A and B are shown apart, each in its own frame.
Chain A
């Protein structure tokens, strides 16, 4: 799966003279210098980019939901971008019922020392679905599951989209949605009755704990070390 490991030197790809990061000073609230990737995205994807905002020096690019996977793939693969780290996947819902739900991706490019935030707007009343970027970053697996668990946003292409924080048989809905009552939808006694009928040992799917299958996907050096009898965990 992985080629020989070569370390990423932060900022090195942008040329030799990038200064080490320091605490930014005098950052304007709006209209600061945009991340150069925003212009690159505009020229590459044009119609899929609806708006670019720079707030407190951080660039937010509003993208078309259906093309998220394609755009992130380009940001990850293109040698002039190299966004190799997905920091977070989450969502925002506003109290204003007419405002769409925003799905947010935070991407970081270590070689170029860049940070970019992608947002996709999902209109209320439409199915809440965006493409998964699990095929690009394996690490977003649990983030997308959490986002589904809390907001009910489905990530098309995710291999195992189940609840992660609430238990799998949770029936009350999606807790971080604005129409969700703070104490849940059911009465306390009904909540207790449902949870106490759960089997505490039936929490894991076999795919999740099958280490043997995952062994073939490990990097070659780790496979060799484990094969030589090295112990992990415990």
Chain B
């Protein structure tokens, strides 16, 4: 993604090089080179809990071949992973586990929320399921679908690659991990979130049993 411009031998397109020189050399922007390297060797950490994980396996298998995107190596340990792919619904009991796994991943790290349940809770609007993993960890790309086809997940991965290509090392805030700060102006108090999310959020009065 990008270094194929080498073939054009043109200058001013991000990469310059001189084939006639004895010592081959390349000039480019460090941001470009680093992002190019990162975007094309994202190591995924699959966090599969439900049917989306089956589609994820299909994406990784030979027909759709996730290895084409530099995702040859599935990382089943968060400490050697770059991108967390959360595939499937996350029950509340798993929420602290998912948070812990995210915290164990080293920077730089990204997260893809795969499928309706991971993104919003989906059809499981009940007492046991987290209503979107973005209430626990930051999410970069949401892939819709129930479950998404492998093409959908690959499109999400390509979107993430584009996002990585646009990052700048000078922007320290990208890698800054924050807990919600009540002093911040962006902070929304939990009761206000509950009020805003009515009637789609929680309602203590709702019961299906009619009692």
Contact = CB atoms under 8 A, between A and B. Distances in A.
A166 B128 CA distance: 8
Contact of A183 (B190, B193, B203): B203
Nearest to B208: A182
Nearest to B205: A181
Contact of A187 (B93, B126, B194): B194
Contacts of B204: 181, 183, 185-187
Contacts of B207: 179-182
Nearest to B132: A188
A180 B210 CA distance: 11
B105 interface: no
Q: Is the interface of B mostly helix, strand, loop or mixed?
A: loop
Interface string B172-200: 00000000000000000011011001000
Given A182-B206, A196-B95, A95 B127 contact: no
B96 A184 contact: no
A166 B99 contact: no
A183 B126 contact: yes
Given A179-B209, A192-B136, A196-B96, A184 B127 contact: yes
B130 interface: yes
B151 interface: no
A95 B203 CA distance: 21
B202 A184 contact: yes
B70 interface: no
A99 interface: no
A190 interface: yes
Nearest to B209: A178
A142 B177 CA distance: 40
A215 interface: no
B104 to A, nearest CB: 11
Nearest to B195: A187
Contacts of B100: 200
Contacts of A172: 127
Given A185-B204, A192-B130, A95 B209 contact: yes
B97 interface: yes
Most chain B beta-carbon contacts within 10 A, residue among A185, A193, A199, A200:
A200
A124 B205 CA distance: 22
A87 interface: no
B127 A188 contact: no
Most chain A beta-carbon contacts within 10 A, residue among B97, B210, B211:
B211
A166 B190 CA distance: 23
Contact of A181 (B99, B131, B190, B206): B206
A189 interface: yes
A195 interface: yes
Interface in B89-114: 92-93, 95-97, 99-100
A95 B92 contact: no
Given A95-B210, A187-B190, A200 B135 contact: no
Contact of A95 (B136, B193, B206, B211): B211
Interface of A: 95, 97, 165-167, 172, 175, 178-193, 195-196, 198-200
Interface of B: 92-93, 95-97, 99-100, 125-128, 130-131, 135-136, 190-191, 193-194, 197, 201-211
Given A181-B204, A187-B191, 11 more contacts: A167-B93, A172-B127, A183-B206, A188-B131, A188-B201, A192-B95, A192-B136, A193-B190, A198-B96, A199-B96, A200-B96
